[in-house]
Amino acid sequence: MLNKEQNFFTVKDVAAASFIRAYADHLKKANKLKVPSWTEWTTTSTANELAPTDPDWVYLRVAAIARKVYLKPHTGVSTLRHIFGSVKRRGCLRNIHEHAHGKFIRWSLQQLEELKALTGNNKSNTNNQQNSAGCCPCCTLTFWRRYFDVTEGDVAKRLRSALFLTPSFCEIMEGHPDLYGPFWIYTTIVVILSISSNICSYLHLRGSQTLFNYDFNFVSVAASLVYGIGILTPIVLWCVVKLLFKVKIKLIQTICLYGYSETCFIIISCLLLIPSTVKQQYQYILILQKIKKILQWVLIAYGMIVSSTFFFRNIKKEMDELDSNQKYVVFAIVLGFQSVLCLTFKFYFFRLIKIPDTPQN
């Protein structure tokens, strides 16, 4: 029995360089990795100007990633990007640490999953988590951690795609939806909406005899409206498409898409701050007020069009599987909730307060 116990070795018992080289040779001989063509010229980080010179660098990096994930289960892409990053030299400026590219790390993890090289290590941990969570994995932090494992660069790219509708959001997402971006998008809208609506009320009352009081109800109403619609809309849409129409659609991906589709309302919440502080007895001022009202409607319509276009473009694959009547139902759900959001913006947060005319002497 002692001899058998002495023959057991784990990854921790082997030197890192020896294990990585041996496992890389094994992966190369097995010829099971589908090495893409872009690995011949790509760099591993923005700190590097040239591609790696070692012809076996792909296998070495995959082996190193496998070792890291084995030693520390549930390690995400963000952590691996930091681990495999490098120092960027900037001449006379202070050197900084640049993260590694996430595309290659995601590809490596996908290849290791296809080889079933990661399932054995996570099996016992997953069972323990399910037992502790009462057979419901969504009650554990590990289940939600992967949806917040994104970098600032990833979120920035997704925000640009949501604002400018290019490049394709699904290509940027690469099958890795997140909830980090939608959460902070909704939070930012709530904060800006609460501040802008109070500033708008103040500017409307400026110069009149009516005193301005900060309205804290804007905060609670904005939070209920933005978070409520942001969560309820994708859930209702998922229930209708998945359960009623029997079309495969992912709930987390739908929540992610709808959350990023609301990005334009961050800017619109600021632009809607178009005050109307003048009295109504001047004809040219009345014309100016009408122009401001029209501008508000234009901004709200623009936000609704951009957000809806972004969302429908990225669920085109699921929409193609629906018939015409089912598509109308999906359009009605999304546009209905969007209309509630936009109309509340206009008639509650940025309504024009009627200022009583002051008597002239």
Domains of the chain: 10-117 (1.10.10.10), 169-349 (no CATH)
Cα–Cα distance, 218 to 261 (Å, whole number): 23
pLDDT > 90: what percent of the chain?
36
How far from the centroid of its chain's Cα atoms is residue 35's Cα?
Answer: 29
User: What's residue 252's pLDDT?
Assistant: 93
**276-313 per-position pLDDT tens digit:** 444 444 445 567 667 778 888 999 999 999 999 999 99
Split at pLDDT 50, 70, 90, the class of 257 is: very high
Q: Output 52-58 pairs: Cβ under 8 A, ≥24 positions apart.
A: 56/24, 56/28, 58/33
Residues in the chain: 361
Split at pLDDT 50, 70, 90, the class of 127 is: very low
DSSP 94: P
3-state secondary structure 95-106: CEEECECHHHHH
DSSP E strands in the chain: the ranges are: 86-88, 96-98
Split at pLDDT 50, 70, 90, the class of 352 is: low
Cα–Cα distance, 44 to 52 (Å, whole number): 8
Residue 12 C-beta-side C-alpha neighbours within 13 Å? 4
User: What's residue 167's pLDDT?
Assistant: 84
**48-77 per-position pLDDT tens digit:** 888 888 889 999 999 999 998 888 887 888
- Mean pLDDT across 99-105: 87
**212-242 per-position pLDDT tens digit:** 788 889 999 999 999 999 999 999 999 999 9
DSSP 345: I
Most confidently predicted of 9-18, 87-96, 255-264: 255-264
Cα–Cα distance, 17 to 86 (Å, whole number): 18
When mean pLDDT is compared across 86-100, 162-176, 276-290, the lowest value belongs to 276-290
